[in-house]
């Protein structure tokens, strides 16, 4: 009896999940990563905090494959140094049976750094994004999506970042 109930629940989950990623549907959501670090270089203790918030809107161009646009804002602080940025770019995401997703995208990014009230640096570049995760379906059209992102910076943004993310998506 336990096996029958478990099998029924698994089949129901796959059926609901697959129905949300059909061609012609839309997905809209937000995601964020939040990080905090502390470094100690030559006796100087520096705390670094980062936050990035992005919104996405996409259309399923075929079953399980969505393509769309990402808009993002970011901020970081390291002592008196504050950095802010904005980004925009395309993305694509493939859902594997509605249970896992993998995606890629590219955003052009611009921003500036300030030390107190003085602008110390302005930058332009981009980020190549690779992502993977899984939607946790809360209902027929709503999912929370934990995942991992890898960003590879281009232009003035010469760095790579691996981040854990959490997202909230509406499917309709």
Give the pLDDT score at 162. 86
Residue 5 binned pLDDT confidence (cut-offs 50, 70, 90): low
Give the rounded percent of residues in the chain with a pLDDT score beyond 90.
51
Q: How far apart are alpha carbons 122 and 113 in whole angstroms?
A: 6
Give the pLDDT score at 86. 96
Q: How far apart are alpha carbons 62 and 17 in whole angstroms?
A: 15
Mean pLDDT over residues 28-32, rounded? Answer: 93
Q: What is the pLDDT of residues 8-28, one digit of tens each?
A: 444 444 444 456 899 999 999
Q: How far apart are alpha carbons 172 and 168 in whole angstroms?
A: 14
Give the rounded percent of residues in the chain with a pLDDT score beyond 70.
81
- Is a pLDDT exceeding 60 seen at residue 136? yes
- Please check whether residue 56 is in contact with residue 88, taking contact to mean a CB–CB distance below 8 angstroms: no
Residue 131 binned pLDDT confidence (cut-offs 50, 70, 90): very high
Which of the two residues, 48 and 138, has the higher pLDDT score? 138
Residues 6+ apart with CB under 8 A from 146: 133, 134, 136, 164, 165, 166, 167
Domain covering 2-171 in this structure, CATH number: 2.40.160.20
Q: E-strand spans in the chain?
A: 26-41, 44-62, 65-78, 81-96, 100-115, 118-133, 136-137, 142-155, 160-171
The two three-digit tokens of residue 159, written as one number: 């760095």
Mean pLDDT over residues 73-88, rounded? Answer: 89
Task: Return the closest-CA partner of residue 103 out of 149, 59, 57, 72.
Answer: 149
- Is a pLDDT exceeding 50 seen at residue 113? yes
């Amino acid at each position: 009896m336990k096996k029958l109930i478990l099998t029924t629940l698994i089949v129901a989950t796959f059926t609901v999940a697959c129905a949300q990623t059909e061609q012609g549907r839309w997905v809209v959501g937000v995601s964020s990563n939040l990080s905090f670090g502390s470094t100690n270089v030559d006796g100087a203790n520096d705390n670094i905090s980062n936050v990035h918030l992005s919104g996405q809107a996409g259309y399923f161009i075929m079953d399980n494959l969505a393509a769309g646009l990402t808009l993002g804002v970011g901020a970081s602080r390291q002592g008196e140094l504050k950095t802010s940025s904005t980004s925009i770019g395309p993305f694509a995401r493939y859902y594997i049976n509605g249970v896992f997703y993998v995606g890629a995208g590219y955003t052009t990014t611009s921003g500036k750094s300030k030390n107190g009230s003085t602008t110390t640096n302005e930058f332009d570049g981009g980020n190549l994004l690779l992502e993977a995760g899984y939607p946790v379906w809360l209902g027929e059209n709503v999912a929370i999506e934990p995942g991992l992102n890898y960003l590879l910076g281009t232009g003035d943004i010469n760095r790579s970042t691996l981040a854990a993310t959490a997202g909230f998506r509406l499917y309709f």
